[in-house]
Amino acid sequence: MGPLVAVVLTLLIYSFLYKENKLYRFAEYSFVGVSAGYWLMVAIDNLRSVALGPILRGNYSYVIPLVLGVAVFARLSKGYSWLARWPVAIVVGTGTALALRGFVDAMFIGQIRATIAAPMDYNNILIAVMTVCTLFFFMFTIEHKGPVGILAKAGRYSLMFYFGVLFGNHIMTRMALLTSRFIEIQNFILKALGLS
Amino acid sequence: MAKEDMWGKLGRIDPRILYVLLVIILIIPLIAPIGLPIPITSETRKIYDAVEKLPPGSVVVCAMDTSGAAWGENGPQAKAILRHLFQKPLKIVVVSFEADGPMLGQRALLEVPKGEKKYGVDYVNLGFVAGGETGRAAFGRDVQKLISKDFLGNPLEKLPIMEKVRNAEDFALFFTFTSLISAVEMYVRQLYAPYKTKVVAGIIGLGVPAVVPYYNAGQLFSILSGSLGAGEYELLSKMPGEGVRLSDALSLSTLLVVVLIVVGNAAFFGDKLRGKEEKR
């Protein structure tokens, strides 16, 4: 039953390519509804397994995040909306601290080190030059004139190269996703005809 | 009304004609595979060699950080890798840090041949871990403290495989199959930076240019690039599957897009040229 539903809904969605129609709308709304339902179930299941489960097993420290979670709903009340700031502050603070743990080394120093210390081959020299030129493009404290202007312009072309690569990969990905749907339809037809 | 010339007509082709063309181009290689060559990249070979050289009993984690929308590319990748892993004497842990992942991970596990491997002993699906970056960091720190039950609801203490899976130091190789560049970055921050875990990014083609700098910097062990990467891996492991089937259609459809880009640009510049001539 599952593959049949998947194939029918795929065809209904692709019917939009001809023109917008009610069958397409039906598939679209079904997708939104099923997604919302699924996410609700995931949230409830998380609440049960991550918070309520440990509390019921006697780990009462989980009451704190549970109370903070409930405090998010205080936003709905005019008088107590300030309570919602606490969980948001904790989530943002923890998230930032955690991200910063590896950020400086992995995303900043590591990248600079890799650019500088890379072996001197044509590819790496080109990457280093393009990196410097791109940085010049984003340097707005100096007017883009003379040598700086040339470097900034080279930076602009470097960015365009990158966008070109990105566009090419974008097309490849979209085509792969489309083809995989076709493969699923083909598999369904072959199975229905008893050929696979 | 002035009669429209060739350039004008080219620039205003009904998109539905292009869709039909695309469908035809995609269907032909699916019905009659052409067998266009698939060159193996050094990145894919590096992954294959690493899996081949893993000592028996090593723990390999496959994080299904993907969604239904990206499964078209991540699916063939995950299945190609899992098929190979299941042929080796390894312990396989499937987990997901994105909500859609557990179902897709389970689907991949169901679809690949598992040989003599037993659930709970040789492989496990730990299901969904909430929290994004926080969840990933906690997973690297202490798996058993973070997760109490697997995807099927079995308590982890009843699964023998979990005796070998405690923290990131136990992971011989960590795969992520994802469409999210941010997910790869999180692993670089939370697994590579503190534990030097070998992270392999099985990412959709669209995300590859954004994660290449991490690979060049040595922060990623390797990259499996889109469905083409899956096709390459299938050929290396001598188990052709969806990735190989996709590659013919992908090559032809990309060729069509290139032709259409050339036609579109020719129409644009031809139109511009005609405008200049008319002004004269």
**Sorting pLDDT into bands at 50, 70 and 90, what band is B224?**
very high
**C-beta atoms of B250 and A114 within 8 A:** no
**Sorting pLDDT into bands at 50, 70 and 90, what band is B11?**
confident
Q: Where are the beta strands (DSSP E) in chain B?
A: 59-65, 91-96, 123-128, 171-178, 199-203, 222-225
**Residues forming beta bridges with residue B94, ordered by sequence position:** B62, B125
From the list A98, A173, A178, which residue is nearest B204 (CB)? Answer: A173
Residue entry with tokens 């190609």: B80
Q: Which two tokens stand for residue B122?
A: 């040789």
| Nearest C-alpha in B relative to A99 | B189
Q: How many CB atoms lie within 10 A of CB A94?
A: 14
From the list A53, A173, A183, which residue is nearest B73 (CB)? Answer: A173
Report the candidate in B58, B139, B219 with the shortest Cα–Cα distance to residue A103: B219
Q: Which of A165, A180, A191, A196 to mutate to test the interface with B (most CBs of B within 10 A)?
A: A180
Interface size A-B, in CB pairs within 8 Å, comes to 135
**C-beta atoms of A173 and B219 within 8 A:** no
Percentage of chain B modeled with pLDDT above 70: 97
Pairing of strands B199-203, B123-128: unpaired
From the list A113, A162, A176, which residue is nearest B227 (CB)? Answer: A176
Q: What is the pLDDT of residue B1?
A: 52
**Sorting pLDDT into bands at 50, 70 and 90, what band is B126?**
very high
Q: What is the pLDDT of residue B3?
A: 62
Q: Kindly report, residue by residue over A78-117, the tens digit of the pLDDT.
A: 899 999 999 999 989 988 888 887 788 788 888 888 888 7
Region A46-67: mean pLDDT is 87
Give yes or no for A48 touching B (CB within 8 A): no
**C-beta atoms of B228 and A182 within 8 A:** no
Report the candidate in B174, B207, B210, B206 with the shortest Cα–Cα distance to residue B190: B174
> Above 90 in pLDDT, residue A119?
no
Q: What is the CA radius of gyration of chain A?
A: 27
The model's pTM is 0.88
Q: Kindly report, residue by residue over B54-99, the tens digit of the pLDDT.
A: 999 999 999 999 998 899 899 999 999 999 999 999 999 999 999 8
Report the candidate in B161, B17, B139 with the shortest Cα–Cα distance to residue B93: B161
Contacts of A124 (CB under 8 A, 6+ apart): A118
Q: Kindly report, residue by residue over B161-172, the tens digit of the pLDDT.
A: 999 899 999 999
> Above 60 in pLDDT, residue B154?
yes
Q: Is-contact B161 B121, C-beta < 8 A?
A: yes
